[in-house]
Amino acid sequence: MNFEDLDLIPPLLQALKDEDYSIPTPIQEQAIPVILQGKDVLGSAQTGTGKTAAFAVPILQILKKEVTPTGSHNIQALILAPTRELCIQIKDSFVSYGRHLHLRVSAIYGGVSQRPQEAALKVGIDILVATPGRLLDLMNQRLVRLSAVKIFVLDEADQMLDMGFIHDVKRIITALPVQRQTLLFSATMPTEISRLSSAILKDPVRIAVSPITSTVDGTEQYVYHVDKKNKKNLLIHLLKSGKSEQALVFSRTKHGANKLSEELAKAGISSEAIHGNKSQAARQLALNNFKLRKTRVLVATDIAARGIDVAELPLVINFDLPNVPETYIHRIGRTGRAGLLGKAVSFCDEEERDDLKGIEKLLSRKIPVVDEHPFPTSVLLPDDSVTKKLHSATTRSFGYAKKRGGSTKKNFHRS
């Protein structure tokens, strides 16, 4: 199937062609026709599946039929996202796909001055992408009206819950018209999100493009057992001995991200940190430098990493294992995107072994262990933790990602 088979209007098809996309991903193939029919959607989709286009493209088509170039611009579509980075990414996607349409798209989020956002609201907006906190703030100042919203999208709903935004989301929903189309997307479906979906969705079409506990196809995964004190040394060793141009490294804490970035810089490896305490300008600069390959390593916390979409990212390293197993899936989903192969490497110290067991239980399989490296753990490993032994680890190449299969057509996997 091609995008031409989805009954999209010529301006949208041209924008997708401009982006060099021709084949819709499974979630796009399933969701676009349903959304165009005006139905509510409950979508289970992991990162990197093309979820953003799955709702952005049909929303643009629906609104295009109702807005003229000289008409008034009221907020007709509202998309809530958990982080500033994801908010900006979704807004940019709407702008790209709607470049041949006369629709106004804007994003509002905290961490920056609200004045430019106020100005955009006064001029008029058709599609608003927002984080819950800043949106509520502007609503309380009577600067935002949601009475004209026809389509509401709650993206990354499980992350909203993890970050404590669920009550803000519920307050925003009460300000929306009762008659509307609602789309809810979540990589996982915890009980709270299931209850919320039942409350706000009307006879939804359920779309699940793959098991929500599965990881991105083609991502090679390995674990290194290492003492906590030697994690930094192992990271520097892998980055210096490997051939990978870039790596996204996950730290559990903001302080840890800063410290690790400084240590990498001392070792001659260009690195920047990105986390919630950084200003929005600093976060965007670090992300842009990474995308432009000016920086080799980006050290990120989980909250800041939502919305990071870097083309052909070959390697993700879990410097600290997450204590929530589903978070592991989100992390490694940053590599192996758009039909590319990727690698995900995890460091596991003695205190993190229960976290590793939780991840492997979610995956329903063991992650292969690299047991030959310069910094092996000094603590005896339990027998059941040793799976597939991988030799010559120090010479393993973390090279560029390669295309899977032989097709020259691009699948649109940006989320």
Give the rounded distance of the alpha carbon of 264 from its chain centre.
25
Radius of gyration of the chain (CA): 22
* Residue of 298, 316, 358 whose CA lies nearest to 48: 316
Give 330-396 as a DSSP string.
HHHTTSS-TTB-EEEEEEE-GGGHHHHHHHHHHHTSPPPB---SSS--SSPPPGGG--SB---GGG-
One domain for residues 199 and 135: yes
One domain for residues 247 and 384: yes
- What's the confidence (pLDDT) of residue 328? 87
One domain for residues 125 and 185: yes
For 211-311, list the strands marked E by DSSP: 219-225, 247-250, 271-274, 297-300
One domain for residues 136 and 235: no
pTM of the model: 0.68
Domain of 328, CATH number, reads: 3.40.50.300
Our count of domains for the chain comes to 2
Residues 121, 138: contact at Cβ < 8 Å? yes
* Residue of 336, 355, 343 whose CA lies nearest to 404: 336
369 pLDDT higher than 70: yes
Residues 12, 94: contact at Cβ < 8 Å? no
- Per-residue pLDDT of 333-353, as tens digits, reads 788 665 567 899 999 999 999
C-alpha separations of 94 from 10, 127, 264, 318 in Å: 16, 8, 36, 31
412 pLDDT higher than 70: no
Give the rounded distance of the alpha carbon of 202 from its chain centre.
26
One domain for residues 199 and 283: no
- Per-residue pLDDT of 134-169, as tens digits, reads 999 999 999 999 999 999 999 999 888 877 888 999
One domain for residues 253 and 328: yes
Please provide the distance, in angstroms rounded to a whole number, between the alpha carbons at the two ends of the chain.
20
Give the end of a domain, one of 185, 208, 231: 208
One domain for residues 174 and 232: no
Give the end of a domain, one of 162, 180, 208: 208
- Containing domain of residue 273, as a range? 219-395
Three-class SS of residue 331?
helix
